Amino acid sequence: MNDRLQRIEFFSLYELYLQKNEEFRRAVHARSAPAHLDELRSSINHIFTRLHEKRGFHRRSATDGRSAP
């Protein structure tokens, strides 16, 4: 994928991440059901993982087989 499309995809994910964080903040303030908060938290974590993968921050294996810090 070319560099421009990768940037667009990253910033689209980032915008979604910000929206979900705001939705989570509002749900906490409104004292939403724990199941709803867990669903939002899971969604945020999934988006965060994708963002890290897109930026190359995923953990690489260390030479001894343990994950790198």
Do 47 and 13 touch, CB atoms closer than 8 A?
Answer: yes
The per-residue pLDDT for 1 is: 57
User: Bridge-partner residues for 61, per DSSP?
Assistant: 67
Nearest to 47 by CA among 23, 22, 14, 69: 14
Whole-model pTM: value is 0.71
Q: How far is 48 from 54, CA to CA, in rounded Å? A: 10
The per-residue pLDDT for 68 is: 44
Do 19 and 39 touch, CB atoms closer than 8 A?
Answer: no
Q: Where are the alpha helices (DSSP H) in 1-69?
A: 3-29, 34-55
Question: How confident is the model over 29-69, as pLDDT tens digits?
Answer: 999 999 999 999 999 999 999 998 888 755 444 444 444 44
pLDDT of 11 above 80: yes
